[in-house]
Chain A
């Protein structure tokens, strides 16, 4: 075995110590880690820039389309408002009570020997019904029967177009006055009729058969 003499052992030891210097190793690790962090930051910055360019493109699109969208939005709101208002107005129009057909029915019910002196009618609030007060005089051998005929006739005629028809005498009294009808003197009666009904027609299932009316003359 050959004999080796190391005459520079101090220098070599110093060199090895320098190589294993923890401060130097630590600085190298730190630099490596720093480089990694920098690269990671750059990667993120690149992604951010890419997203920023996407955002710009989307913003450009939005800026281009926004006036049209705003106009369309306003138009939709306007049209919806028009549709709603028209619907509300149509509801109002359709829910009106038409007086002309009612007056026609009343005129059909009044026989020649009966006279209406006053008609007062009103639509109750929120279209809950119609209330009518009819006042007049009836003449005949039995004037009360003539008035009753009018009442029955009103029930029959109004029942054809309206529901919940109620016709009641509020007053029915004989008068002392005599009237000449067709050359014959006849006694008279004064009546006051209260009529109530709902404007809507009677439902078929709920409809009751019309009462038999026996006209007394």
Chain B
């Protein structure tokens, strides 16, 4: 059976139909199915992200609870170390505190000067500052100084003596002139 002969008009219509068909497909995929698929894919990605966040959040909350239990010692110790630094500028309270301390140790004359202060390079100590002090005890005896230093080292854990100079006094041989360089770590307020 031979194919039916198409008239010129029919061929024209067929050609227009074919073009229309291609256009229809383009519009369908570009403006309907494409955006729909894209939005679905985006939603799936969002769901996956949120789901992973939800899973992580459960872990995070468990971690927070367990860390809270583990950190009891650290937090109490941290609070105790923080409590060693009173409010206010260290230059205002540190020298009087040392003067009182040495007076309790039978060393009447004690003067503390602030030499300088430096920030820590370590990130975990960014909230703390190191203050370098010069402590002058112009009249003290060796035994009292030794006892006082032992007491100071035990009661001031954040204070570290870096230099020590003990010199006899020619005029009063029973006394010595003592100079201490000490570094103390104090929380930034």
Contact = CB atoms under 8 A, between A and B. Distances in A.
Contacts of B118: none
B36 A22 contact: no
Main secondary structure of the interface of A (DSSP, over half): helix
Contact of A44 (B36, B78, B125): B36
Contacts, number: 171
Interface residues of B, number: 62
Interface string B31-54: 011001101100110110011011
A154 B133 CA distance: 29
A72 B54 CA distance: 13
Contact of A76 (B63, B160, B185): B63
Interface stretch (B86-94, B109-117, B163-171): B163-171
Interface string A41-54: 10011011001101
Main secondary structure of the interface of B (DSSP, over half): helix
Contacts of A99: 149, 153, 161, 164
Nearest to B3: A22
Interface of A: 17, 20-23, 26-27, 30, 33-34, 37, 40-41, 44-45, 47-48, 51-52, 54-55, 58-59, 61-62, 65-66, 68-69, 72-73, 75-76, 79-90, 92-93, 96-101, 103-104, 107, 115-123
A2 to B, nearest CB: 26
18 contacts: A51-B43, A55-B47, A58-B50, A58-B51, A69-B57, A72-B61, A75-B68, A76-B67, A79-B74, A79-B75, A82-B74, A85-B78, A85-B124, A86-B77, A90-B77, A92-B160, A104-B146, A107-B146
